[in-house]
Structure 1
Amino acid sequence: MDWLQVVVLSIVQGLTEFLPISSSAHLILVPVLTDWEDQGLAFDVALHLGSLTAVVLYFRHELARMSASWVGSLRSGAWRRGGGDPDARLAWWVLLATLPVCVIGFTFRDQVALGMRSPVLIGVSLIGFGLLLGYADWRRRGGKSEYQLGLKEVLIIGGAQALALIPGTSRSGITITAALLLGMTREGAARFSFLLSIPVIALAGGLEVTGLIRDPRPIDLPALTVGTLLAGLSAYLCIHYFLVAIKRIGMQPFVVYRIVLGLWLLWVFW
């Protein structure tokens, strides 16, 4: 890889991982629209490591409280009575909401990887799920935070997250959409979505590591280091400014972007 490819892919991954515009769609489209060769599994792992580090650092205080409370709920048996205090309950909800995407992802991994990466499908997904996000943001009614979710709501958001296996859907986009429809605030929906990303990114990176072990290509350590740092920095800034911006502008600018990009893809590739 040349350094331009390293920089572009790293920043694209860092920004689109948490914005509701589909990181998988953008990372699939970059090689389609350029003559760059596939970046390889090692670089994919590095980008996921950067994004994972960013979200863990950003929510480090919340994660510390959640982890301590979760362990405490195991020791006291409070999980049998609903998970213990709010931090423990939120930790349980994150784990529970991750199960659907794990089951479906492992079951249909090959089909998703090989049969659902066409620009036309990406365009349709960008538009369709973008319109749904716009509707959810327009009609939002509730004021719930991530600490006020119930079991049924968590299962619905977790099930919605599994739809993100379709390129163009956006993991953050579909989980925020479901959360808004269930009465959460914009900030609460985004924060819960970002917390859900931690186990998902970690699991995806773990799967890529298993493939990396069998990959005979040499590892470009300087490119991996720069890619990890750039992806992490851009992801951290993205999380921070996204949470600030949605209080004022909502989701509609991202909806417009999705529709425009989706229409362009259909125009070019259909």
Structure 2
Amino acid sequence: MDIFQALALAVLQGLTEFLPISSSAHLILLPVLLGWEDQGLAFDVAVHVGTLTAVVVYYRKDLAKIMSAWLGSLMGKGFTDDAQLAWYVGLGTIPVGLVGIGLSDAMQEALRSPLVIAGATIIFALLLWWAEKRAKEQRTKITLVDAIMVGLFQAIALIPGTSRSGITITAGLLLGLTRENAAKFSFLLSIPVIALAGSLKALELYQSDVAVSWDFMSIGAVASAVVAYLSISWFLRLLNKIGMMPFVWYRLVLGVILIAVFIR
């Protein structure tokens, strides 16, 4: 890996992690198109740290209130809306954790097939299109049912090409949440998921004998954090103006490109 490859992958990860366009599809396609070798486990850990840092910093004020209210609920100080949201984020994380634990190594490897990724990219683009067309956008408050359903949808994102943010925003829209609140809950849900995924990768790295290039890891973490922060900000500002259809069309085109590249 050279500095250009490190920057390109970090920027791509930061940009696509929180947009509904599937970061896994992009991170597989770019090295194939450019003939790059796999970036390695250490670099994956670094960019996870970067994207996690971005979402935590972006929602730092909300997280401070949510965590304070959650601790207050544990101490018997009341069950406020912020405390409920904290519990709902935890509840919504359970399905993806259980499914992730239940997937065998063979199943995970099979799901990483380029054709699976291409199919998921197209299929869940159409589901996002359907959700966008029938979205009523009537509610702003997250309920227990929302947390359970969005959490179940999030577990589907273990199929590469689905897009974790895409499938959870889709679920929120289908449940009647506004685009802004569906996206916000999706991003809050990403915090424990990214933290868990990064921790597992870090544990794998610790248990392996892989040499760590700290310079490239630092570049990856910083670049992905900056780009992810800007990506979240840009996406939320434009969401009500542009809707989800540009991302639907982008996913459809990307899926076709993946099929064209890998079916020969």
**TM-score over 0.5 for the pair:** yes
Whole-angstrom CA distance in 2 between matches of 1:233 and 1:268: 30
* Within-5 A mapping of 1:173-252: 173-252=166-245
- Is the contact between residue 3 and residue 223 of structure 1 (CA under 8 Å) also seen in structure 2? yes
How far did residue 137 of structure 1 move?
1.0
- Alignment equivalent of 2:137, drawn from 142, 146, 155: 142
Task: Return 5+ residue gaps in structure 2 as ranges.
Answer: none
How far did residue 29 of structure 1 move?
2.1
Whole-angstrom CA distance in 1 between matches of 2:70 and 2:51: 24
Deviations 1:72-121 (A, max 9, x none): 0011074xxxxx10100000000000000000011105245311112211
Deviations 1:104-150 (A, max 9, x none): 011105245311112211111111100110111121113222xx222
Q: Which residue of 1 aligns with 2:59?
A: 59
Whole-angstrom CA distance in 2 between matches of 1:185 and 1:65: 22
Amino acid at match of 2:205: L
2:118 is the counterpart of 1:113: no
- Is the contact between residue 141 and residue 183 of structure 1 (CA under 8 Å) also seen in structure 2? yes
CA 181–198 in structure 1, closer or farther in 2 if over 3 Å, else same: same
Amino acid at match of 1:43: F
Whole-angstrom CA distance in 2 between matches of 1:122 and 1:185: 28
User: Which deviates further from its counterpart, 218-227 or 96-105?
Assistant: 218-227
Runs of 4+ displaced beyond 4 Å: none
* Within-5 A mapping of 1:7-46: 7-46=7-46
- Is the contact between residue 41 and residue 212 of structure 1 (CA under 8 Å) also seen in structure 2? yes
Whole-angstrom CA distance in 2 between matches of 1:4 and 1:45: 18
2:89 is the counterpart of 1:123: no
- Is the contact between residue 164 and residue 174 of structure 1 (CA under 8 Å) also seen in structure 2? yes
Whole-angstrom CA distance in 1 between matches of 2:82 and 2:106: 37
Amino acid at match of 2:169: I
How far did residue 28 of structure 1 move?
2.1
CA RMSD in angstroms, aligned pairs only = 1.2
- Is the contact between residue 28 and residue 117 of structure 1 (CA under 8 Å) also seen in structure 2? no
CA 250–109 in structure 1, closer or farther in 2 if over 3 Å, else same: farther
- Is the contact between residue 127 and residue 258 of structure 1 (CA under 8 Å) also seen in structure 2? yes
How far did residue 30 of structure 1 move?
2.4
Whole-angstrom CA distance in 2 between matches of 1:159 and 1:193: 12
Alignment size in residue pairs:
263
- Alignment equivalent of 1:171, drawn from 164, 181, 186: 164
CA 215–34 in structure 1, closer or farther in 2 if over 3 Å, else same: farther
- Is the contact between residue 137 and residue 179 of structure 2 (CA under 8 Å) also seen in structure 1? no
> 1:165 is paired with a residue of what secondary structure?
coil
Whole-angstrom CA distance in 1 between matches of 2:216 and 2:63: 30
User: Which deviates further from its counterpart, 85-94 or 218-227?
Assistant: 218-227
> 2:157 is paired with a residue of what secondary structure?
helix
Whole-angstrom CA distance in 2 between matches of 1:215 and 1:10: 23
How far did residue 38 of structure 1 move?
1.4
Deviations 1:148-178 (A, max 9, x none): 2221221110000000000110000000000
Normalised by the length of structure 2, the TM-score is 0.97
Amino acid at match of 2:90: L
Normalised by the length of structure 1, the TM-score is 0.94
